[in-house]
Amino acid sequence: MESQSGSVSPRKVTVWIGGAAGDGIASVAETLAKACARTGLYAFAYNSYQSLIRGGHVYMQIRIGSKKVWSQGDFSDFLIALNIDTLQRHAKDVSPGGAVIYNKEKIKLEPGLIKPGVMDCGIPSSTIANKFGKSPIMQNTVALGALSYLMNFPFEPIQEVLTSTFKRKGDAVVNANVGAAKAGYDYAKENFKAVPLTWQLTHKKRMFLTGNQAVALGAVAAGCKFYSAYPMTPATGILHWLAPKGPKYGMVVKQCEDEIAAMNMAVGAGHVGTRAMTGTSGGGFALMTEAVGLAAMIEAPVVVVNCQRGGPSTGLPTKTEQADLFQAIGASQGDYPKFVLAPANIEDAFYMTTEAFNLAEIYQCPVIILSDLLLAEHFETVDDFDFSKVKIERGEMVANYSGNGEYKRYLSTPSGISPRAVPGTANTVYVAGSDEHDEDGTLISDVFTDPEKRVLMMEKRMRKMTTALKNLPEPQIIGPENADLTLIGWGSTYYVIRDAVRMLEKEGMHVNHLHIKYVWPFQSKAISKILKSCKKTLIIENNFTGQMERLIRQETGLSIQHNLRKYDGEPLGPIQVCKKIKEVLSEKKVAELVSH
């Protein structure tokens, strides 16, 4: 937030809303963010929550700006504290010129808890809320109204969102919520001075959605007709979105008894010609891996979404991490062709999901989408997707087989891609078994394992990856070519890297960015060429061992010079990244980009 002397246009404003699970934090935060989205502002909302239905500590971070917002930021300008725990944890992180809003009837403020220069905005939330209903959650709505005034943000968009949210419950509920918010607004207006912010409201409406919702929408756009899943955080949002909406577009949505069933159902659907997808997190993906190998052996197209979270075992069910990279690459036993895609942002989550279905059918193999909790569950304003860019490519499909002789489902071809016929196509009878087989599907492992046929089939399948590397779009440097430092990232680190680069550009620093989206097959030649042209390199990851750094070294023989790793379950902040970048740039001795 800019200096508070005079009326200013904020570059970015961050609001934190904290309390216990069950306090209605998410609903208040979403109301504010949606109001911003409907007035033409950009918003980025991240929920830091625990695996409790009630209690614990939860806080929602919303960053708002008139231009694209790339991350949740590092500090807050306004804090709504719904309990004393939130005040004790986060009041120190409120920037000077900001404000702390809390229920002064329930929270006794400790001396020195609010920093000098930060407004103490205690309000009688309970008394105000009781005028509009007995629900304790209503105090949140009162605080939201007070926040609207303190931010100098118009109340009308807040009223519109509350009305649309509660209209299905009737006028009485709408009037109670709008009334409580307006009463909070009026109380703040009478007792506090608003921060003199001037918002540039274009009133251009934008979508406000999560990465999970973008994946689900991408599946619909790609013509997916079958989705199976067992609920597992943070992938459950895909199932939640598709369950009511998928059937409207001809999709069968199946909640299964476990991840083993979900994966096998999806493989079966892909085998018979239906575009199919399943979704889970790392623990569920561990159960799926045998069936992923089955898809590879019978060459059935299927898309698998792995929304990463902190591990191992149950680990951190509600926290973000990027530690399933090698799990995805090494899923199931043996060598087989696969794709591993890592969307960078919500737009990528939509477009790469549509691409995943094409890759699965063109190359007749499993495609794994590696998301993570940050990407999967954060809300963000995005411009409308361009559905004209969505192309459906089904690959080597056999409609009417008229070839001479027996149909060879696994015919060895120069590309490794065989003619695919779905069951029921005339004159295309074949065996699709989990054992190694001949070109026509006859198993070779029962009586005598024919070494020549095994080699033929293995090389045929793996040629698909050679073919794919010729066709995948090559990675590109984002930013100036001759930069002093190249940042390397994958997955959702894109957000904080872009934010940090933007901040450093304003300070006159020359930094660029290589983001790896096509994780497997690894584009060794293109990435090696880029890295060899870099002056200094810094890779940023949300895991302990530097998994992408290790993969780059494994596949190119090049060692990245510097790294920044975070594995506490929370996403990186731009100031943290900027600090590391400045440390690297200040080093006089340049570490070599070692070749092994």
Share of the chain above pLDDT 70, in %: 96
404 and 355 within one domain? no
Query: What pLDDT, on a 0 to 100 scale, did the predictor assign at position 484?
Result: 94
For residue 596, pLDDT over 60 is answered with no
> What pLDDT is recorded for position 543?
97
Q: Determine, yes or no, domain membership for 319.
A: yes
pLDDT-based confidence at residue 449 (cuts at 50, 70, 90) = confident
* 317 and 218 belong to one structural domain: yes
- Residue 535 and residue 451 share a domain: no
pLDDT at 250 over 60: yes
So what's the pLDDT on residue 528? 97
104 in any annotated domain: yes
CB 121 within 8 A of CB 187: no
Asked whether 280 and 230 are in contact (CB, 8 A), the reply is: yes
Q: Would the pLDDT of 207 be above 60?
A: yes
On the question of pLDDT at 279 being above 90, the answer is yes
Looking at the structure, tell me whether residues 364 and 452 fall in a common domain: no
Residues 402 and 416 in one domain: yes
In a domain, 426, yes or no: yes
CATH of the domain at 275: 3.40.50.970
Same domain, residue pair 503 and 569: yes
Q: Is residue 594 part of a domain?
A: no
Please check whether residues 310 and 346 belong to one and the same domain: yes
pLDDT at 53 over 80: no
Give Cα 123 distance to the centre of its chain: 36
Share of the chain above pLDDT 90, in %: 78
pLDDT at 4 over 60: no
Q: Indicate if 226 and 351 belong to the same structural domain.
A: yes
Residue-level pLDDT at 403: 67
- 170 and 233 share one domain: no
272, 423 contact by CB (below 8 A): yes
**pLDDT tens figures, 406-421:** 899 999 999 999 999 9
Query: Between the CA atoms of 20, 22, 24 and 29, what dihedral angle is there, to the nearest 10 degrees?
Result: 60
Q: How far apart are CA 37 and CA 43, in angstroms?
A: 7
Rounded Cα distance between 60 and 72, Å, is 10
Predicted local distance difference test score (pLDDT) of residue 590: 57
Query: 58-94, pLDDT tens digit by residue?
Result: 889 999 998 999 999 889 999 999 989 999 999 999 9
pLDDT for the residue 132: 87
Among the three residues 131, 159, 191, which one is the final residue of a domain in this structure?
A: 191
CATH number of the domain enclosing 137: 3.40.920.10
Confidence of residue 592 (pLDDT cuts 50, 70, 90): low
Alpha carbon 145 to chain centroid, angstroms: 30
pLDDT of residue 593: 53
Task: Specify the range with the lowest mean pLDDT, choosing from 108-117, 228-237, 304-313, 323-332.
Answer: 108-117
pLDDT at 9 over 70: no
Asked whether the predicted pLDDT for residue 13 surpasses 90, the reply is yes
503 is a domain residue? yes
| Burial label, 455 (beta-carbon count in 10 A; 0-12, 13-18, 19+) | exposed
**Residue 591: predicted pLDDT:** 56
Tell whether 491 and 410 lie within a shared domain: no
Task: Tell me the whole-structure pTM to 2 decimals.
Answer: 0.93
For the segment 491-510, what is each residue's pLDDT rounded down to a tens digit? Answer: 999 999 999 999 999 998 99
Residues 252 and 311 in one domain: yes
**Of 533, 591, 531, 594, residue with least CA distance to 562:** 591
Question: Do the domain assignments include residue 278?
Answer: yes
- Tell me the C-alpha distance between 418 and 398, whole Å: 10
Domain end position, chosen among 409, 441, 471? 471
In a domain, 8, yes or no: no
Given 338, 354, 389, the domain boundary residue is 389
**Domain enclosing residue 343, as ranges:** 209-389
pLDDT of amino acid 2: 45
What is the model's pLDDT at position 266?
A: 98
Q: Is 200 part of any domain?
A: no
Give the CATH number for residue 578.
3.40.50.920
Averaged confidence pLDDT in the chain = 92
25 or 175: which leads in pLDDT: 175
Query: Are the C-beta atoms of 151 and 194 separated by less than 8 Å?
Result: yes
pLDDT greater than 50 at residue 103: yes
Instruction: Specify the higher pLDDT residue, 58 or 332.
Output: 332
Domains of the chain: total:
4
Bond into 473 cis (ω within 30): no
Which pLDDT band holds residue 135 (cuts at 50, 70, 90)? confident
pLDDT of residue 165 exceeding 50, the answer is yes
Same domain, 354 and 244: yes
